[in-house]
Amino acid sequence: MRGIMHRRGCAGATLVRMQATVSDSLSAQPPRRLNLREFAQRGAALQGSVAVSDLPRLAASLHADAAQLRQLQVHWSLQGMLRPQPGGGEHALVRLHVRGALPMTCQRCLQAAQQDIDDEAMLRLVDDEPEIDAEELESVEEAFCARHPVDVLELIEDQLILALPLVPMHAACPQPLARPHEAAQDAAAAASPFAVLAALRGKPD
């Protein structure tokens, strides 16, 4: 279901009731098995940083070698909460926030172009994935099946990948680009026999 529905618009959750937040402090590593529904019911919070080298699917999209990937860090936070429903009861929600500066290949000059990622998603926890109808497509929240414990590291990686630009480019490339007709003219001149003759004449005896 991730990536199919809208992921933005978390500011609309004004009716959300947060319990006295139970902070699980800075997490050295995201938990690999977390019960999100229990996490939301406790109003718990987690945050931390992770090396991009630990996110292989994300790393494959970046303009960086292995040493650089180990140095790159992304920051994340997870906040659980409950929202009252009009007919009674409460909806369990989890807000995921990711941010980091990631080098991608500029599609204009093919050099590294830093992309500043700052993205957030509000996950509405459900027991079964709903059908994709007009209401779900227009929702500012993403229905997320939480029947089983979740790998938070994978959740973070998914959100970062979804936040990457489809066509990364510099606002202004650091090196001027050769124009196609100029490159063609240079190639033609290099292949010309007159250019070879001129070069030979310029050589000392």
SS3 9: coil
Asked if residues 131 and 194 have their Cβ atoms less than 8 Å apart, the reply is: no
DSSP 21: -
pLDDT for 153 beyond 70: yes
Amino acid at 145: C
**Which residue is associated with the tokens 């006295």?**
20
28 token code pair? 């050295």
What does the pLDDT look like over 66-102, one tens digit per residue? Answer: 999 999 999 999 999 999 888 878 899 999 999 999 9
Query: Tens digit of pLDDT for each residue in 16-66?
Result: 444 444 455 555 689 999 999 999 999 999 999 999 999 999 999 999 999
- Amino acid identity, position 178: A
**pLDDT attached to residue 10:** 35
Least confident range from 12-16, 102-106, 151-155: namely: 12-16
Sheet arrangement for strand 22-27: 22-27, 44-51, 73-84, 90-105, 112-126, 142-145
Say which residue, 143 or 15, is predicted with more confidence. Answer: 143
Q: Which residues pair with 102 in a beta bridge?
A: 115
Has residue 5 got a pLDDT over 90?
no
Task: Return phi, psi of residue 22, to 5°.
Answer: -95, 105
**Residue 123 neighbours by CB distance under 10 Å:** 27
74 vs 117: CA distance, rounded Å: 9
What per-residue confidence (pLDDT) applies to 50?
Answer: 96
Backbone torsion region of residue 167, taken as left when φ is above 0, otherwise alpha when ψ lies between -120 and 50, otherwise beta = beta
**Mean pLDDT in residue range 131-149:** 73
Which one-letter DSSP state was computed for residue 33? S
